[in-house]
């Protein structure tokens, strides 16, 4: 294999051999045929074709690689996830196997990426203490910024699965009821306070039966991997509607996700201990066992607005972990389905420049952001493009990439 | 056809020829084969077999009757719904056709009924002014009972689709965090305040594209039919968790639905004008056009606890209509998928004995219900069975039935 082989991936590639995220792609010559791909360097490995090429399709669970979405692989469970990941690693590193799978590579620039799995239920959490504190200060000035329940349970709510879209999908500015506190009645029109929320999403693979809570220690048996999430939010719609039953139309118009699902197994070096629990957790949420693998992740996010970095939210600062979110979400007996997606909520760190939403970065619009091009923003203008990326430590000093979740705001057509 | 034909259905049957609700059933001899059935009298018509028997399968859309769930029929759209309903009516009333479909009848007592469609997104509204007022008085004493937004928009939130179960499924008492106002910290254990919510659910058939709101006048193009819903609620979990992002684990453990979907077309005689709008609705919610078909429904509910009627909630008293709920839910451009379910929220009338939840019937447990067997209830005990039924006016003085949504509370197993 020569140094010019597409499989000779430089160490600083976000998609090196230690990452191997899964997605679903099509190519221009077969636009109807969705295929599972694995990102490697600047290429995508057609995973089903590769499995066929090396004669692996008969191995248990490997036929899921020929599906048009990740759901069958997600449903196959951790033993299959581990076996498939180990096999793909071999295909990409063993000299003889590399020759067999090289014809199954497609340049990444030549593929169209799709929503990689069919989303079952979507839950959005509120797991950043800094974000929750900032929003409490903005929305409920004069009260304690954190509600009394905040440190006892990971607050969450169900979002709309049907409007989850893949990165790159244009985001139409939503209309809705807008009412500032001083207005006597609401009016209806395009949101004037369109915002982002930079989040990490967790993709459920192995389902559970109704009545079977998932213990903290079992979280990794059910979670296949992670993606980046932009939970677009119309703050004016949200502020007017959300009491008493929570966010609805302020969120349900669109939620964007990155096309690559990074396996949990790729994040071994990124695991980190979450912040100190300064309120005693109930036993089902108590993760203070120093011997257990920590469930925090040291993932460094970047948020770009029209190309300018406006924030660098640190996932390591999140108070609640994905394992606690999953344990809480199922503590009442609620079942999981393959394809369930739960997201962290906005990732905000302690400093202003690490806040993951414009409402915090601009303090509810009172302190506009100055972009490097000289323009100012409070909330999003039509035409604005938001791109969220992230990296995490991999083995041997490498850094893993997550791809990106991008979206451009388009005005609502006047009909 | 003799008077003893199973198709000679008495006028007072809840499942007469003017109703024709759809469900999905299996029989003991073919337990794996889910089939679409139409309730008629004491029987179920195997709709796919009947279509085959009369040679109708080639008609546009009729092949959907051979599917194992209602989703393909739901997706086929109103022209197909109308044609299929007209055809089934003919099969059941025309002498020659009756002979052809009679072999496709199964006694209703011999079938097992299943969840009739795959639920996409589930939204629960809060459309009863009486219910919202009662809960405001109970949860926020001293404040205005209705939040300022209540008469401007139908408040709603997303629920968990994956835990929607068919009538008859046992309901395991959920555990969760419980904290009375006087407790310093929450504890974890089985809910002590397990409640019901008697609701009407609306099943979406025709989907929409992202960015395409549904106008009030188009609601019937998208809604296939209705079912009964019991939105089980753990009030102690809910009260502690719901600020600021709304209900989550207090609801997500189970939501029961009736197995029969009554077509919107069967409810023509039940349509009624909703209550006066005492706040001017925004144009997209304004249904005060006297020339338009009204979107309220005169459906009389009954709630039985262990066989005793404890409430008779009147759906006609609901402030917000299904058309307003749908217009609002899509006003921000959110798309609809086939199988979306949206429910009305608890149906409560103005009088105590018409309230659709125990928290209202017992005023938060302060005024226990006395059952006819001499026992008392505040919230549900283990072993309690709740059965919700409803009827609506049909043609010629008949009344349509909706079947029932039933569930019995079982204790959480101690593991």
Average pLDDT, chain A: 96
User: Among candidates B411, B145, B126, which has minimal Cα distance to B246?
Assistant: B126
DSSP assignment of B294-363: P-EE--EEEEEETTEEEE--BGGG-SS-HHHHHHHHHTTS----TT-EEE------SSGGG-SSHHHHTT
B241 → chain A, closest CA residue: A149
pLDDT digit string, tens, across residues B136-182: 999 888 999 999 999 999 999 999 999 999 999 999 999 999 998 89
Q: Between A and B, how many residue pairs show a Cβ–Cβ distance under 8 A?
A: 194
Handedness of CA B259, B260, B264, B269 (dihedral sign): negative
Q: Which residues in chain A touch residue B335, judged by CB atoms under 8 angstroms apart?
A: 162-163
Q: Which residues in chain A touch residue B149, judged by CB atoms under 8 angstroms apart?
A: 177, 179, 186, 240-241, 243
For residue A224, the distance in angstroms to the closest alpha carbon of chain B comes to: 18
Do B332 and A237 make contact, defined as CB atoms within 8 angstroms? yes
Residues of A forming the active site: 131
Q: Which residue is catalytic, options B18, B43, B130, B131?
A: B131
A285 → chain B, closest CA residue: B188
Instruction: Answer whether residue A4 shows pLDDT above 80.
Output: no
pLDDT digit string, tens, across residues B273-326: 999 999 999 999 999 988 889 999 999 999 999 999 999 999 999 999 999 999
pLDDT at A140: 86
CB-based contact (8 Å) between A176 and chain B? yes
**Cα–Cα distance, A322 to A310 (Å, whole number):** 26
CB-based contact (8 Å) between B188 and chain A? yes
Provide the chain B residues 228-267 that lie in CB contact (below 8 A) with chain A.
234, 237, 240-250, 252-254
Q: What is the dihedral of CA A99, A100, A106, A107, to 10 degrees?
A: -10
Instruction: Answer whether residue B415 shows pLDDT above 80.
Output: no
Provide the chain A residues 322-351 that lie in CB contact (below 8 A) with chain B.
328-329, 331-337, 340
**Cα–Cα distance, A411 to A257 (Å, whole number):** 21
**How far, in Å, are B39, B56, B199, B249, B392 from residue B86 at the CA level?**
15, 12, 28, 43, 20
Provide the chain B residues 271-290 that lie in CB contact (below 8 A) with chain A.
280, 282-284
Rg (CA), chain A: 21
Instruction: Answer whether residue A369 shows pLDDT above 50.
Output: yes
Can you tell me the mean pLDDT for B255-278?
97
Do A332 and B188 make contact, defined as CB atoms within 8 angstroms? no
Sheet of A308-311: strand order equals A171-172, A399-410, A385-393, A300-305, A308-311
pLDDT digit string, tens, across residues A186-244: 999 999 999 999 999 999 999 999 999 999 999 999 999 999 999 999 999 999 999 99
Q: How far apart are the first and last CA of chain B?
A: 58
Do B161 and A165 make contact, defined as CB atoms within 8 angstroms? no
Q: Are B344 and B128 in contact (CB under 8 A)?
A: yes
B136 → chain A, closest CA residue: A244
Q: Which residues in chain B touch residue A155, judged by CB atoms under 8 angstroms apart?
A: 241, 244-245, 248
pLDDT at B4: 63
Residue ranges of domains in chain A, CATH in brackets: 22-114 (2.30.30.230), 122-410 (3.90.850.10)
Do B248 and A155 make contact, defined as CB atoms within 8 angstroms? yes
Catalytic residue check, B130: no
Provide the chain B residues 124-153 that lie in CB contact (below 8 A) with chain A.
126, 139, 147, 149, 152-153
Do A249 and B186 make contact, defined as CB atoms within 8 angstroms? no
For residue B343, the distance in angstroms to the closest alpha carbon of chain A comes to: 14
Do B160 and A165 make contact, defined as CB atoms within 8 angstroms? no
Q: Which residues in chain B touch residue A139, judged by CB atoms under 8 angstroms apart?
A: 244
pLDDT at A306: 97
pLDDT at B412: 86
Instruction: Answer whether residue A3 shows pLDDT above 80.
Output: no
Which residues are paired to B198 by β-bridges?
B230
pLDDT digit string, tens, across residues B69-115: 999 999 999 999 999 999 999 999 999 999 999 999 999 999 999 99
Q: Best interface-test mutation with B: which of A140, A155, A158, A280 has the largest number of B CBs within 10 A?
A: A158
ipTM exceeding the 0.90 mark: yes
Instruction: Answer whether residue B210 shows pLDDT above 70.
Output: yes
pLDDT band at B413 (very low <50, low <70, confident <90, very high): confident
Nearest to A157 among B155, B188, B246 (CB): B246
Instruction: Answer whether residue B192 shows pLDDT above 80.
Output: yes
Give the pairing type, strands A385-393 and A376-377. Answer: unpaired
Provide the chain B residues 394-413 that lie in CB contact (below 8 A) with chain A.
412-413
Provide CB contacts within 8 A for A289, sequence distance 6+: none
Nearest to A248 among B156, B175, B210 (CB): B156
B208 → chain A, closest CA residue: A162
The alpha-helical segments, DSSP class H, found in B16-157 are: 47-53, 71-76, 78-93, 95-101, 129-139
pLDDT digit string, tens, across residues A157-193: 999 999 999 999 999 999 999 998 899 999 999 999 9
Do B187 and A282 make contact, defined as CB atoms within 8 angstroms? yes
Omega before B375 cis (within 30°)?
A: no
Q: Which residues in chain B touch residue A240, judged by CB atoms under 8 angstroms apart?
A: 149
Q: Are A365 and A144 in contact (CB under 8 A)?
A: no
Instruction: Answer whether residue B1 shows pLDDT above 50.
Output: no
Do A252 and B155 make contact, defined as CB atoms within 8 angstroms? no
CB-based contact (8 Å) between A189 and chain B? no
pLDDT digit string, tens, across residues A269-281: 999 999 999 999 9
Q: Please, how many CA atoms are within 13 Å of residue A154, restricted to the half-sphere of its CB?
A: 29
Q: Are B159 and A158 in contact (CB under 8 A)?
A: yes
pLDDT band at A2 (very low <50, low <70, confident <90, very high): very low
pLDDT at A1: 44
Provide the chain A residues 102-121 that lie in CB contact (below 8 A) with chain B.
120-121
pLDDT digit string, tens, across residues A124-151: 999 999 999 999 999 888 999 999 999 9
Percentage of residues of chain A with pLDDT beyond 70: 99
> What beta strand segments (E) does A160-238 contain?
164-166, 171-172, 175-178, 187-190, 194-195, 198-204, 223-230, 233-234
pLDDT at B11: 82
Do A210 and B412 make contact, defined as CB atoms within 8 angstroms? no
Helices and strands: H and E segment counts in chain A? 9, 26
Residue B47 sits at φ, ψ, to 5 deg, of -70, -40
């Amino acid at each position: 294999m020569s140094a010019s082989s597409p499989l000779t991936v430089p160490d600083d590639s976000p998609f090196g051999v230690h990452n191997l995220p899964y997605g679903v792609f099509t190519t221009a010559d077969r636009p109807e045929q969705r295929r599972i791909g694995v990102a490697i360097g600047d290429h995508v490995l057609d995973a089903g074709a590769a499995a066929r090429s090396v004669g692996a399709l008969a191995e248990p669970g490997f036929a899921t690689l020929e599906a048009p979405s990740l759901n069958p692989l997600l449903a196959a469970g951790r033993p299959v996830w581990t076996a498939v990941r180990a096999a793909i690693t071999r295909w990409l590193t063993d000299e003889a196997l590399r020759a067999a799978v090289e014809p199954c590579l497609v340049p990444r620039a030549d593929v169209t990426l799709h929503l990689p799995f069919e989303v079952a239920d979507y839950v959005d959490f509120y797991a950043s203490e800094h974000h929750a504190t900032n929003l409490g200060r903005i929305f409920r000035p004069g009260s304690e910024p954190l509600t009394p329940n905040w440190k006892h349970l990971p607050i969450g709510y169900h979002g709309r699965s049907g409007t989850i879209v893949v990165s790159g999908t244009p985001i139409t500015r939503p209309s809705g009821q807008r009412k500032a506190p001083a207005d006597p009645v609401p009016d209806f029109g395009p949101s004037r306070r369109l915002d982002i929320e930079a989040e990490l999403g967790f993709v459920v693979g192995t389902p559970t039966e109704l009545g079977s809570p998932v213990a903290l220690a079992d979280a990794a048996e059910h979670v296949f991997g992670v993606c980046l999430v932009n939970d677009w939010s119309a703050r004016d719609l949200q502020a007017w509607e959300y009491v008493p039953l929570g966010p609805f139309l302020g969120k349900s118009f669109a939620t964007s996700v990155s096309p690559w699902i990074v396996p949990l197994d790729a994040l071994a070096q990124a695991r980190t201990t979450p912040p100190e629990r300064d309120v005693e957790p109930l036993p089902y949420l108590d993760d203070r066992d120093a011997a257990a693998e920590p469930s925090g992740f040291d993932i460094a996010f970047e948020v770009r607005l029209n190309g300018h970095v406006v924030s660098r939210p640190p996932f390591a600062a999140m108070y609640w972990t994905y394992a606690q979110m999953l344990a809480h979400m199922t503590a009442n007996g609620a079942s999981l389905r393959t394809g369930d997606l739960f997201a962290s909520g906005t990732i905000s760190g302690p400093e202003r420049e690490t806040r993951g939403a414009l409402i915090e970065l601009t303090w509810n619009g009172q302190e506009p952001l100055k972009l490097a091009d000289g323009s100012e923003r409070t909330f999003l203008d039509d035409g604005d493009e938001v791109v969220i990326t992230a990296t995490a430590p991999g083995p041997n000093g490498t850094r893993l990439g997550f791809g990106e979740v991008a979206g451009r705001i388009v005005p609502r057509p006047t009909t």
